[in-house]
Amino acid sequence: MAQGNIKKLLIANRGEIAVRIIRAARDLGIATVQVHSEADKDSRAVRMADEAVNIGPPQAAKSYLDVQAILKAAKESGADAVHPGYGFLAENAAFADAVVEAGLIFVGPSGDTIRLMGDKAAARAEAQKANVPTVPGSDGVIEDMEAAAHLAAHIGFPVMIKAAAGGGGRGIRIAHDAGEFHTLAPQASSEAKAAFGDGGIYIEKVIERARHIEVQVLGDGEDVVHFFERECSLQRRRQKVWEEAPSIVLSEDVRTQLCRSAVALAKAVKYKGAGTIEYLYDDVTGEFYFIEMNTRIQVEHPVTEMICGADLVAEMIAIAGGAKLRVGQDAIRRTGHAIEVRLNAEDPANNFMPFPGIVGELLAPDGPGVRFDHMLYPGYAVPPFYDSLLGKLIVWAEDRDKALMRLKRALGELRIDGLPTTAPLFQALLESDDLRASAVHTRWLEPWLEDNLDLIRQKGGSAT
């Protein structure tokens, strides 16, 4: 049976998340329309969907970022809702507005909410109003570089200079003293202007050896529940590569405070759909600080689904179709431990160079507690035009030690012939004493990579 007002859903995305959305829609009895560029005409999502519409050339700007082409596809196919996935237009407030103005349902929060929480300075102000702890820093966007320099000196170095708009690690610099600040602040502003059309910056105190903890929330515009936290501290160039749920370093008291603060903030902005509220956690003091909200489903949502037994994508579709929250907070339980690793078509021993190519033999790991969300099939030509993510390998077990063992087993079973992947990185990481003890932080991985290239090569990475 179709879910509420949604009978046909258009997926305005590609790759593994498109496959994931199609499956959730089918579980709800909803027909699917997959838009695609010319480069993706033979993609797995196109093969799986009930209908497919070509919306343009391979370049994302002429296809997946073309709002009018997507809306035309929705109208001509008879779709009544649009799911943006993650990336591309997922956090574009103008796109959300355009979908609604075209008489369609946007699967996600309103354009106004995306706009508010997408502006990091405005989101910080909302967090403060909701009594959610924030990192010491500027109260809003700073345009005057001299004023910014004085504030940085007052906060105390090192400080992080961040773009007020955008994400993905762009428009971010760390200044260790006043001299570096005067050099890096204009760079961050210029990069943000070029990438997001907004050169506004704000400043935050750098928390040494911080962990990245995030809370999954789900709201219906009135009520909000949380599905506990994930830890995403293993990052390269501020991009996550390995995620876990739950974080084993949090006490139950801190976990309760963290999750309650996330719900309070989401309620304050009348959040609708699935979203994630991200924090820095200070291992030394046990304090946590809000940094931003992602107003979409995230790449790492499966680890939360595994420990909570939920289908977050189906829930956000149901809410968009008019349903109220279908689960109360008291009914949400977490069990065991889950780990996700991101498998990219990159060579981790050769500066993570992307390697599009044709998939040869494909052996997907399976068995108890193993999940492989991906976009692959033998003979599929991975295009060179987009993000290199091929899929995610997710494991669950009763505790973290068993989950690490299961991940080792699953990586050993995985075979993707025809192109290098980041699998050797994770096989090498499993031998790290620090990782096994969860003695990591957001700046731990990059030095480890420099020291362990030979080990990664031994596990199957590049020999060059």
Q: How far is CA 290 from CA 136, 236, 310, 390, in A?
A: 10, 21, 25, 30
Specify whether the CB–CB gap between 81 and 7 falls below 8 A: no
Contact residues for 299 (Cβ-Cβ < 8 A; gap 6+)? 17, 86, 240, 342, 389, 392
Query: Residue written as tokens 């620090």?
Result: 434
Three-state DSSP at 270 gives coil
Number of Cβ atoms within 10 Å of the Cβ of 368: 8
463 Cα distance to chain centroid:
31
Number of Cβ atoms within 10 Å of the Cβ of 366: 11
370-373: long-range contacts (C-beta < 8 A, 24 or more apart)?
370/394, 370/395, 370/396, 370/406, 370/410, 371/302, 371/306, 371/395, 371/396, 372/410, 372/414, 373/16, 373/19, 373/20, 373/302
Q: How far is CA 436 from CA 100, 402, 405, in A?
A: 47, 11, 10
Catalytic residue among 255, 296, 342, 406: 296
Three-state DSSP at 198 gives coil
Q: Clarify whether 296 is annotated catalytic.
A: yes
Number of Cβ atoms within 10 Å of the Cβ of 336: 16
Q: Which residues pair with 34 in a beta bridge?
A: 11, 52
18 Cα distance to chain centroid:
14
Residues with catalytic function: 296
